Chain A
């Protein structure tokens, strides 16, 4: 039952004992704001950490060939390994569902020109899946699609900075871009979180590059992502198996480190994930500790308050207050002080984080922030904390004997 008189009693008690209420609130506010700041900073650290790997998909595997270092099966050392389209198909056939996205890649350096603007760029000739592997985002137009692959169309997707470099006065999409003498139609502009270099790339269909520049089916490198449902250990095993099978396919000694290389991001991803988890756990432990310190603090102050109010409680009991009514007064006061001051602390913490964000960026702390879930969670925790903190003192208060409380001393 909502008893307005009870609330009136409590707010009067809080209002009339400002110092006391402020003091007890301060502990909690301080604890919570510290927690929020700590939490935000750690979030920022994790963000920075993850951003380092953000350029490409986290579950990336890169395959690139080299020259063999060892003689094997009657073949000499120093043999150049060349990947072809059939190897791309082989991997897809062999590993099927374990592969999420896959693209082969051919790299060409070009001199690109549009009207009077020109510059040198690297062209990556790719399959459509490259979009997901590189984690490009379409800003305008479209990406390379299967039709482009099938028809070997002369289309190009350009990075945001390429558009800025060359298309100073007009939109790029729909214009024709000259790449070392061949006209390509710009059909899309993309952005990428991987830094400026990644946004100074040109993408064309791999089949177009193969037919125009080499008239072969050679592939420079292959990129794929493993099925994200695999855990890190499975993903690592997958990479090892793939390397073994490819070495077998190209007759490379199993111990040869140079003939063909398979670099598996699962290794790094595992480390990142573990570190993030570790950081998160640390914050949780520290945060929890701070909160407990806050609860103990307020509990202590509530005990003191009960002591200070012993006489008042005795008077109330002499006038007919029931134990239940005494408990609810103390308990509700504790909850209200905890909740309000906790909320103020949260606001201060979030405010400090918000203000400090530009400065923190210099210290590798990116987008520190406190999520809504945390705010809601913290509010609930605060109410629980207030109850916990107030319960023992309230129980103690209800046991006060009026005769003891009223004794003249």
Chain B
């Protein structure tokens, strides 16, 4: 599904530059659920951004589902993001003047889907996250957990190959965090490949594999016994 080899990335800081990723090698198979851990500044978000095609690596290879991701034009990156990737953010990143249904339908709009079809699909995904009755509410009328579920529905809407979550529970209390994680585990059970960036150990332990980053290199890459959220609740 995902093959990263010898990935380097540095950011210019004034005269000098900050070497954030110093040769990352990572293979992720279909249906995996991987947590990327590390303290702040370890490069975990940068890695996720590069995987999400929101940022470009300086050197190294990145192959997504057999497709080499290199020298993308903005337009091409947009198409790939839309087709292959679903994003879940810490701060939900919903468009505040659009209701839940419209937010979920947005990736489908950019796929060029007809309005009727789009709304049907969006409704289907909202149902999956259990928010049918909140479809016409604006983000500000929803709780944090509900907002994140809308965001998950949106990430799923375009039926992506890979789900990228950047601290998906960072803005939520423990109870809600576990609810969201339970949901993400369910998605994984259904076969979705999921990549989660987190610095919380309990969240990482709910994944099947933990990759620890420190100072731009992978320190540890272990398969763990997944802790099912049901056991915690």
Contacts and interface: CB of A to CB of B under 8 A. Distances in A.
B110 A321 contact: yes
Interface stretch (B22-30, B48-56, B123-131, B220-228): B48-56
A12 B101 CA distance: 14
Nearest to B50: A403
A318 B75 contact: no
Contact of A320 (B89, B96, B107, B115): B107
A357 to B, nearest CB: 44
A406 interface: yes
B109 interface: yes
A320 B107 CA distance: 6
Interface stretch (A93-101, A188-196, A226-234, A309-317): A309-317
B156 to A, nearest CB: 12
B187 to A, nearest CB: 18
B95 A325 contact: no
A323 B75 contact: yes
A213 B52 CA distance: 108
A284 B9 CA distance: 57
Given A323-B78, A406-B54, A318 B87 contact: yes
A156 B82 CA distance: 90
Contacts of B90: 408
B97 A325 contact: no
Contacts of B109: 5, 9
B110 A403 contact: no
Given A5-B115, A325-B110, A403-B49, A320 B93 contact: no
Contact of B93 (A16, A311, A403): A311
Interface string B51-79: 01011000000000000000000110011
B75 A324 contact: yes
B165 interface: no
A67 to B, nearest CB: 89
Interface in A1-18: 4-5, 9, 12-13, 16-17
A320 B98 contact: no
A351 interface: no
Contacts of A376: none
Nearest to B49: A403
Given A325-B110, A408-B91, A320 B97 contact: no
Contacts of B79: 320, 322
A401 interface: yes
Interface in A288-342: 311-312, 314-325
Contacts of A318: 52, 54, 81, 87, 93
Contact of B97 (A13, A319, A406, A408): A13
Interface of B: 49, 52, 54-55, 74-75, 78-79, 81-83, 87, 89-91, 93-98, 102, 106-107, 109-111, 115, 154, 158
Interface of A: 4-5, 9, 12-13, 16-17, 311-312, 314-325, 398, 401-403, 406, 408
A-B complex: 3 closest residue pairs judged by Cβ atoms: A320-B82, A16-B97, A320-B110
